[in-house]
Each structure stands twice: as C-alpha cells, then as structure tokens.
Amino acid sequence: METFLVYNRWLHILAGFIGFFVAPAALYVRKGGPAHRLWGRVFFWAMVVAGSTAIVSASLNGLTFLLLTGIFSLYLAWFGYRSVYHKRLNRGQEPAAPADWVGVVAGTLIFAGTLVYGLLHLKANPVPAVFGAIGLMITLRQVRAFRQKGPWAAGQWLINHMSGFVGAYIAAVSAFSATSLTFIPFPLNFLWPTLVMVPPLIWVQRRYKRQFVQGQHPEQVVQVRIQPELT
C-alpha cells in the first residue's frame, strides 16, 4: 500500500505540473483554434488524473477536505469539457440526458454536502463553505438551464466552458498553494487564486455576453466547431 501511495503521489504531481503550464497556453492561443483544442484536451486529462489521484490519496489517508477539493476540481473540469457538446442547445437541441443529468445531479449532491461540511466547520476552516457554495451555484444554474423550455441563449455553452475550465484551474492552483506555499497564511493560501482569477473571468464573460446581446453569434467571437452528440 505504501508503494502504491508513493506512485499515486508522483502521478498526481506530474499531472498537476502539466496542468499548471498547459492551461495558460490554452488561454493564450486563438480560442477555438487547433492549438486551443489540443492544449484544452491535454489540460482536461491532466485534471482528470490530478483530481482522481487526489481523491484516492485523500480517501486512503482520511483527509476529508482534500477529498472534497479533488472532487471539486474534477467536476469543474468535466463541466467545462461537457459544455462544448452543448453548442446546439441555442438551436433547440435536447441535452445528452444520461451524461449531463447524471453528472449535474451528482455534482449538486456533492457540493451540497461540501457546503454543509463547511458550515459545520466554519470557524476552523471556511474554505469548504466557499467552494461548496460556488459549486452548488454552478450545478443549480445548470439544472435550471437543462429544465428550461426552448433554446439556450446564444453563447451560453461558451460561458459554461470558460467557467468550468478556469474554475478547475483555480481549484488546482488553490490545492498547490495550500500544500506548497506555506509562507502564505491560512485561509488566504486557499483563497488567493479565487480572488485573483475570478474577477478577470467575470469581466471576459460579461464582454462576451454584451457581444451576444448586440447580435454577434459565437462563431464571430471564437472559432467554433460543432461537436457530435455524446449520449
């Protein structure tokens, strides 16, 4: 078991290291272009490996908070990835029910539990309450979107894509900061990535939304390639 944990730890470090450097590359290149899709896929799978190994390690060592953090980053990576399959929803396409509904219901339950855990330990550690509230807000908004009748607003899939992948990156940087940047006091070591990265994300999303409201299609904002349905 000890050997397994060592290998699991090194795999986690390797995947996290790849994710840290690949995410800025995906953000820098032309959105929707071949390089963006390539680095986006690399980042997604790096987060899948990093999140899965974190969950394994936290489960075997009884680290509840790190377990929740791993699940949080893993869900957000999935959320960002799945959003690229929703480009037809603004044209009346029905969501891929099995993949989307199972994921969003599981995420809602997990983040509700994270929020409850955070509230019960609020004085000792307020971070789970923050992560749980953010995650629950995302999943409940997605449930409402899946239940609404009629097409989605133009570009909603793009907003979701940005929220998911940037959120997964924030969670990964937060975990790295908490475990490695020991000179930053708690709980700022967990929360500074959220404080630094969320405002620019909101600004970019609002800029895109204004363009959509003015009549621009997502194809005019980013290079769009329609994905096949995944059921």
Is 82 among the domain residues?
yes
Contact 79, 96 (CB under 8 A): no
pLDDT tens for the chain, residues 1 to 231: 778 888 898 998 899 889 888 988 888 887 778 888 899 999 999 999 998 998 898 888 877 777 877 888 889 999 999 888 887 776 666 666 688 888 899 889 988 988 998 898 888 778 888 888 988 998 998 888 888 777 777 788 888 998 999 989 998 888 888 888 889 998 888 889 989 999 999 998 898 888 888 877 776 666 666 555 544
Number of domains composing the chain: 1
Is 231 among the domain residues?
no
**Is 27 strand, coil or helix?**
helix
What element of type H or E holds 140?
helix 127-147
Is 52 among the domain residues?
no
Tracing tokens 């621009």 back to the chain, one arrives at 216
Range of the domain at 168: 65-221
Neighbours of 85 (CB within 10 A): 20
Is 185 among the domain residues?
yes
Contact 212, 159 (CB under 8 A): no
